[in-house]
Structure 1
Amino acid sequence: MVEARENVPQWLRTSAGWSWRLVALVVGLSLVVYATAQVELVFVAVFLALVLTSVFRPLANVYDRVMPRPLATVLSLLTGVVVFGGLMTFVVASVAGQWTELAGQFDTGLQQILEYLQHLPFGLSVTGDQLNEWVQAGGQWLSDNAETLASRAAESAGSVLEALMVIALAIFCTIFFVNSGDRIWSWFVHQLPVRNRRRLREAAGAGWYTFSGFARGTVIIAFSDGILAFVLLSILGVPLAAPLAVLVLIGAFIPLIGAPLAMIIAAVVALAAEGVVTALIVTIGIALIGQLEGHVLQPLIMGKQVSLHPVVVAIAVFAGTVLAGILGAVVAVPLVAVVWTVFSTLRGDQPVPLPRGAPDSSDSPGDPETPEVDPVPAGPAGAEESATGDRATGGGAGKTT
């Protein structure tokens, strides 16, 4: 008896197979995003803890050579507190000394900008009546939304409390991640079936290598941008050079949009204080700093650890902004980079150097004849030592296209 075959074209079978897989993937990602949104504060705290761990763990490893691990952990964190506190003290002192002078200069600069708008070429000038109409419209909007703005201001106290809770949890997690993250990760891995441990170690080690490389590289690049901006603004004699440099430093943590916003604010302050020529020089100078960052610092510091195509970066930042605002814009790129690295590793590729002692991906993880090896843990906060061969081997994450 001949089995009857369905009269369905092969292309339709293939399309149907990919369609339900795509639907399942979208549903799974949606559930992850929804679950993350429900515990957003916890997610932010853990994410911040991982960033801090990637920065302080190498320092703790250095201190660990001459002192016990707990003391090395505390000393590394205190070093960060001293550096950050000194930076903030310097910024506050600079603002306190120049704020009054800048307030008057900024008002003068705004008047200059309004005058420029009224004398633009090619018939694009904005009349005084139009400006007055916009100002009145803005005042009317403030009047109409006064209650909403007041309620949001009242909610700020709760936001401050939540921020303090997030910081406290992040610091708490950071202490344990830096001190004993390898043991925490090893315990987690050993809760899984033996046949899955090898592949998980390999994928998690690659993901942590990418994440830690991104975090440390971003911090180094941000400080480099801030120092260069401070030197530029100081040479030009722009007031509040230190706070503006810190603003550039902060903007470096927000891909695509952070640096341009910092550049605009610095240019407006330069216009208010020193005039059009200085503002133009500041704009060009900070733009050149951005080019130096993109073409020299990032390839030099990060290598190919987080080498994503600009289109992927733009889409990730936009999607993250839509889903979670500024927070989404900040975490989108490292998350996409980590997910891609983990996916590539699970698929059998090696986009980053394998952790020391990890089995080669060509070995079958489920092969019962292959003895289970327990290499140095290579997960979050535990892959620092296991991935120290990264720069030595010259390896890096594969470039997405």
Structure 2
Amino acid sequence: MGYDETVPAWLRTTAGWSWRLLMVVAAVALVFYATAQVQLVFIAVFLALVISSVLRPVTDFYARVMPRGLATGLALLTALLFFAGLLTYVISSVAGQWEKLAGEFTDGIDQILDFLENGPLPVSITADDVDGWIANGQEWLSEHGGDIASQAAASAGSVFEGFAAIALAIFCTVFFLARGKDMWTWFLNQLPARSRESWKVAGGAGWFTFSGYARGTVIIALTDGILAGIFLAILGVPLAAPLAVLVFIGAFIPIIGAPLAMIIAAVVALAADGFVTALIVTVGIALIGQFEGHVLQPLVMGSQVSLHPVVVAISVTAGTLLAGILGAVVSVPLVAVAWSIFTRLRHKDPPMDDDVPTAKEIALASRQGRDD
């Protein structure tokens, strides 16, 4: 049956695109719904893919001189020893400087209170006001202690789920590193022959982007942490090593992670060495962030992850609204993978001209059309 000629062409076109858009939205909503139902499995698999992408070069290096299975175990052991050594160093640093920092932090709080009470600010906050806020906070805690305890008991299950997710991630990582190519080939062989090439191209593009993002993020985070640690150590800021680790962790959370780490480092510097050092720390870590964005990101990531900053900001915001910190972490690599697959599979038309007519040119063309 043909089209009804009484329906305008623009309406038929709009209707066609509308139902296609609705189908895409429904498919995306279905994916999010299914992911929410098995969130623990999604987290575990995502973490396994990240670890696999980071450790795959190490595994390939070991596999040159030993069987693949043994190389996988040695790569995981190397990663475990690295993080264990890092954690031991941080704990020893905190234990050695904690008492000193506590006293300096108390002095810093007194300086802040004195500035708020006697400084040039139009609002005056006295020590009695702070004591009143603390008393109100203690009263609120005593009134809601039962609710907090019940929430803490409920969170015990979340802790167990966290350990389960880590165990599943390690289990999957072992197989991804040892037999990843065989698993992918098996999956492709389950598809119709006419679809295998498209899936192979899409999977290759997606893995290239995801692994590049994961490895690049780890390299950039390590560089940020090392630079921040050296910078804080030169300034003599206490707990330089733990703060450097905090900067390292913050680099994994796009947009919001680095500023939070900078604020915490500045607060510690303020408590220990005063306002001038805190200001220097803030400026220094901000410069490290600029070095990361303008030098490290293009150099390390290259063409593997090419997303506009606006897309990154929107992705992180949407991910945070949907799944909190987890959504902020996974949103950028998922969007990058989706865009990479789309660019590999699409049939791109020739680009249009960059010249955009001005309002004067549009008005002149419209006037000429009426005259004709």
Q: After TM superposition, is the score higher than 0.5?
A: yes
After superposition, the Cα gap between the structure-2 partners of 1:143 and 1:295, relative to the gap in structure 1 and judged at 3 Å, is same
Counterpart-to-counterpart distance in 2, 1:89 and 1:130:
41
Counterpart-to-counterpart distance in 2, 1:12 and 1:114:
67
The code of the aligned residue for 1:159 comes to S
Counterpart-to-counterpart distance in 2, 1:45 and 1:170:
4
Match of 2:24 in 1: 25
The code of the aligned residue for 1:117 comes to L
Match of 1:88 in 2: 87
Q: Deviations over 1:240-286 (max 9, x none)?
A: 11111000000000000000000000000000011111111100010
Q: Unaligned 5+ residue runs, structure 1? A: 350-401
The code of the aligned residue for 1:189 comes to L
Counterpart-to-counterpart distance in 1, 2:15 and 2:107:
65
The code of the aligned residue for 2:193 comes to V
Q: Does 1:330 align with 2:329?
A: yes
1:69 to partner: Cα distance: 1.0
Trace 1:238-317 onto structure 2 (pairs within 5 A). Answer: 238-317=237-316
The code of the aligned residue for 2:314 comes to I
Trace 1:219-238 onto structure 2 (pairs within 5 A). Answer: 219-238=218-237
After superposition, the Cα gap between the structure-2 partners of 1:6 and 1:180, relative to the gap in structure 1 and judged at 3 Å, is same
Q: Does 1:199 align with 2:176?
A: no
Q: Which has the higher helix share?
A: 2
Q: Deviations over 1:161-199 (max 9, x none)?
A: 111111111111101100110000000000000000001
Trace 1:117-196 onto structure 2 (pairs within 5 A). Answer: 117-118=116-117, 121=120, 123-126=122-125, 131=130, 134-135=133-134, 137-196=136-195
Q: Deviations over 1:96-141 (max 9, x none)?
A: 1111111222222223233333456563555667655654554454
After superposition, the Cα gap between the structure-2 partners of 1:221 and 1:37, relative to the gap in structure 1 and judged at 3 Å, is same
Counterpart-to-counterpart distance in 2, 1:39 and 1:222:
29
The code of the aligned residue for 2:203 comes to A
Q: Deviations over 1:6-48 (max 9, x none)?
A: 4333322222222222222211111111110111111000000
Q: Deviations over 1:302-337 (max 9, x none)?
A: 012111111111111111111111101000000010
Counterpart-to-counterpart distance in 1, 2:284 and 2:72:
39
Match of 1:321 in 2: 320
Q: Unaligned 5+ residue runs, structure 2? A: 349-372
Q: Comparing 13-22 with 215-224, which one deviates more in the overlay?
A: 13-22
The code of the aligned residue for 2:22 comes to V
1:227 to partner: Cα distance: 0.4
Counterpart-to-counterpart distance in 1, 2:210 and 2:174:
18
Task: State the SS of the aligned residue for 2:64.
Answer: coil
How large is the RMSD of aligned CA atoms in angstroms? 1.9
How many residues are aligned here?
Answer: 347
Match of 1:378 in 2: none
The code of the aligned residue for 1:239 comes to P
Q: Does 1:70 align with 2:77?
A: no
Counterpart-to-counterpart distance in 1, 2:222 and 2:3:
69
Match of 1:98 in 2: 97
Match of 1:8 in 2: 7
Counterpart-to-counterpart distance in 1, 2:128 and 2:271:
24
After superposition, the Cα gap between the structure-2 partners of 1:113 and 1:8, relative to the gap in structure 1 and judged at 3 Å, is farther
After superposition, the Cα gap between the structure-2 partners of 1:208 and 1:112, relative to the gap in structure 1 and judged at 3 Å, is same
The code of the aligned residue for 2:340 comes to T
Match of 2:50 in 1: 51
Q: Are the equivalent residues in 2 in contact too, given 1:120–1:126 (CA < 8 A)?
A: no
The code of the aligned residue for 1:198 comes to E
The code of the aligned residue for 2:113 comes to L
Counterpart-to-counterpart distance in 1, 2:347 and 2:116:
58
The code of the aligned residue for 1:226 comes to G
Q: Are the equivalent residues in 2 in contact too, given 1:308–1:337 (CA < 8 A)?
A: yes
After superposition, the Cα gap between the structure-2 partners of 1:117 and 1:19, relative to the gap in structure 1 and judged at 3 Å, is farther
The code of the aligned residue for 1:307 comes to S
Counterpart-to-counterpart distance in 2, 1:210 and 1:117:
50
Counterpart-to-counterpart distance in 2, 1:112 and 1:12:
69
The code of the aligned residue for 1:13 comes to R
Q: Comparing 272-281 with 109-118, which one deviates more in the overlay?
A: 109-118
Q: Are the equivalent residues in 1 in contact too, given 2:113–2:126 (CA < 8 A)?
A: no
Q: Are the equivalent residues in 2 in contact too, given 1:51–1:212 (CA < 8 A)?
A: yes
Q: TM-score, normalised by structure 1?
A: 0.82
After superposition, the Cα gap between the structure-2 partners of 1:14 and 1:109, relative to the gap in structure 1 and judged at 3 Å, is farther
Tell me which structure has the larger Cα radius of gyration: 2
1:223 to partner: Cα distance: 0.6
Task: State the SS of the aligned residue for 1:22.
Answer: helix
